[in-house]
Amino acid sequence: MVESKGMPLTIESLKTAFKSGDLTCEAYVNTVIERAENLKHLNALISVDWEQLRLAAKAVDESGGAGDALNGIPICFKDNIQTGVLPASAATKALAGKRTCASEVATRLMGQGALVGGMGNMHELAFGITTNNGYSGASKNPWNEHRIPGGSSGGVAAAVAAGIMPAGIGTDTGGSVRLPAALCGIVGFRPSVGRYPLTGMVPVSHTRDTAGPMANTVRDCRILDRIMADKRDVSIDKTKEVSSIRLGVPRAYFYDNLDQDVAWLTEKALNTLSDMGVTLIDADIPNVGELNEGCSFPIALYEFMQNLPEYLSANVPDVSVKDVADNTLSPDVRGLMASLLSDGAMPTSVYREAIDVVRPQLQNAYKEYFDKYGVDAVIFPTTALPAAPIGDDETVELNGERLPTFSTFIHNTDPASNAGIPGISMPIGLTRDGLPVGIEIDGPYGSDEQLLAIAEALEAVFAFQQRA
């Protein structure tokens, strides 16, 4: 793993250092830039403007406000989130260099003093989980540079995990915040759909898309969430008493065919939680796999072909969907685009069945589960396996079998995405090969603040477990 060299890598520690005068924003930014350049081979950042960042940091110091809110904190944004400071290309050639108005999410963060530290590399157009991009190149996992960082927010995860940036903002359609967070050993939070505004982000699916904070601690994700959701009056001082937490353990589907190390670390985490007083209830969510499959791709693929043209028309009217497809360079995404523009387009009837019938059934299955068992959240391994080798774009090995890479990695993260409920991934340990493993908790729709409070309580337990 790349060492952090003692840098303060949390928002909280930076705020404290800025306020005390122990560290200036300009000095910290210079360290960030030096580290980013030294770790350029990770290919975590797709675009930067170091001179602009230095000037912004200097202005913060001169204002005397460093450490107030997010004042002076550099944040990495996924390359499909418009900032108005750097271009947002969704890591695809046709949108390269397009500088558009800031997204509402970025506006809220920058309005609280956050600096645009850089744009994170990503799987092209957010349609994949490896961040092995034919246009912008492969991002590398800081724990093992021959492995993927996950995706599609892989560059942001790599930048945070490598200590280049203290935090970042990704987007999550089927797992694209939680999945790379798990593979890179950081925290990634996907909120309830609608908690954050979607304006100013290159879309996949308005039903499923959301931005999500990525950081080294749950507390930092809570700080970012409060601002992104425009709920700055919500206290984040409260955490849950561990002994009051009730978690469902849905072993059918979510615990199927796990990598041996992932299974062992997950069971160790569950045993530790039980020993610390958490109530664990073994109970399955009925038909969750079938319901998820019935609405996942129909919704995402149909809405993409509606949402992308709308985005292009409003933000880059000189670029057409055909231009995007013709200039897509990642083989997996290029094939998908070609299919969607030909006879592979998703039929309206299939979409209507998915959005009007199957998705409500999935949402109801979760609601009935939470109500019936009285649990605060469900808990399961974020991914069935740790980070795969770079280049395993089509298939990946799991327990001696070659399986489809995309569906294997999103297996556990996708249902919550389609149900629109919040989820957060936290690191729980390392495999025998030194690769991070994450565990996820998903809560009822709208329970975001409670879920984050629970996650912070569990994080303390896992940290203790790792030190033991």
Q: Which residues are catalytic?
A: 78, 152, 176
What is the amino acid identity at position 241? E
366-177-405 Cα angle (round to 5): 85
Helix (H) or strand (E) holding 28: helix 25-38
Helix (H) or strand (E) holding 450: helix 448-467
What is the amino acid identity at position 139? S
Bond into 20 cis (ω within 30): no
Which of 77, 45, 131 lies closest to 330, judged by CA? Answer: 131
Please count the other Cβ atoms lying within 10 Å of the Cβ belonging to residue 365.
Answer: 17
Strands (E), 147-230: 167-171, 187-190, 211-215
Cα 352 to Cα 426: distance, rounded to the nearest angstrom: 35
Cβ neighbours for 267, distance < 8 A, ≥ 6 positions apart: none
Cα 235 to Cα 154: distance, rounded to the nearest angstrom: 30
